Each structure stands twice: as structure tokens, then as C-alpha cells.
Amino acid sequence: MREIILIRHAKSSWKDISLDDFSRPLNKRGEKDAPFMAKKLKSLIQTPDLIISSPSLRTKLTLKSFLDEFKYKKDVVFEKNIYEAPLENLLDVLKNIENKHNTIFFIGHNPGFNLLADYLLGGFTENIPTSGILKMSLDINSWSELKEDCASLEFFIYPKMF
């Protein structure tokens, strides 16, 4: 069985208005929430086979907490097509994953992640807040088989729940 864990980046800072969106760091809340949510996720699942992340600064800083908590030492794929991506781009990235990988961490942004969850689950109306995490089990044999309504939601967690 294939599994995808969507992880939305932690809360970013707007303090320095000279920075472009891609270069924004985490704010204080994001710096607190990312390691907290990494620890929560670690209590629920094992280490992933592969991590694919947007290359923006806020996703890289969020990713660091998950790398540390899971003691993940394998390669991380930084995929520019996740940043500000429409649903089609996200699906293309996922459909090209090698089949040797079963459990994927996918770290990125809204609104794309909400669109992806809605598509894969055949309906998802909640907003994925910053540091929100969805685990979905996929009823597919190969990543290339991804299609609408091929997933079931295992859990949806976010900082304000705790």
C-alpha cells in the first residue's frame, strides 16, 4: 500500500517586507509548531521512504524539524514544481515517484495541498492550516496510477488541536 503524508509548512514571517515570498523564514509560532508537530507525527508513524519538499525557505526550515525528529538520513528531493503549484503540477510530481517508495512525506503549500487532498480523497473541505498534517492511504499499486478519489484519510492533525 502507498501512503502520502502532506505536511504544510509552519507559519512564516512577514516581518521583513523586503523579502520575496520564496525567501520568507518562519515566525516564532512556526519555530515552535514545526518541532511540536514533528514529534506528534513521529508518535503515529514510522520513518518515510522518501521526502519531497518545496525549496522555499519556510518549507526547508519546517523540514529540518522532521529530519531531526525522524533521524532521516536519506536524500530529500527539493522540487520547485511544488512551490505555488496548481493541482496538475503536484500530481505530476507524485506520479513520477519511483515505485520502490511506499511512504512519502510531501512538504509544501496551500492552496495546492488543499486541492490535492480534495482530489485524492474525493472531497476534503477543511482548510489545512500551517503545520497541518494529513496522512492518506492510497488504493494504488503504482504512483503513476494516482487518480481522483483513490485515497482514504487516516488522520488530519494540526497544532491548535493540542
Query: 25-84, pLDDT tens digit by residue?
Result: 899 999 999 999 999 999 999 999 999 999 999 999 999 999 999 999 998 999 999 998
Q: Give the residue from 7, 2, 29 showing the smallest Cα distance to 131.
A: 7
Q: What local confidence, expressed as pLDDT, does residue 112 receive?
A: 96
pLDDT of residue 94: 98
Report how far apart the first and last C-alpha atoms of the chain are (Å, whole number): 29
d(Cα 17, Cα 151) in Å, to the nearest integer? Answer: 39
CA 126 to chain CA centroid, nearest Å: 16
**Distance (Å, rounded) from C-alpha 137 to C-alpha 150?**
8
* Distance from C-alpha of 72 to C-alpha of 98, rounded to nearest angstrom: 19
Can you give the pLDDT at residue 26?
Answer: 94
Q: Per-residue pLDDT averaged across 97-106, rounded?
A: 97
Confidence at residue 76, expressed as pLDDT on a 0 to 100 scale: 96
Every domain of the chain and the residues it spans: 2-161
Percentage above 70 pLDDT, the chain? 100
The answer to whether residue 21 scores a pLDDT higher than 80 is no
Mean per-residue pLDDT over the chain, rounded: 95
The pLDDT value recorded for residue 24 is 83
Residues 6+ apart with CB under 8 A from 129: 8, 158, 159, 160
- The CA distance from 47 to 26, in Å, is 24
Closest among 124, 129, 96, 125 to 110, alpha carbons compared: 129
pLDDT tens, 120-131?
Answer: 999 999 999 999
In this prediction, residues 3-19 reach a mean pLDDT of: 90
Distance in angstroms (rounded) separating the CA atoms of residues 9 and 66: 11
CB 80 within 8 A of CB 121: no
- pLDDT score recorded for residue 79: 95
Rounded Cα distance between 32 and 26, Å, is 9
- Percentage of residues in the chain with pLDDT exceeding 90? 88
Pick the CATH number of 2-161 from 3.90.550.10, 3.40.50.1240, 3.30.70.260, 2.60.40.1120: 3.40.50.1240
CB 48 within 8 A of CB 100: no
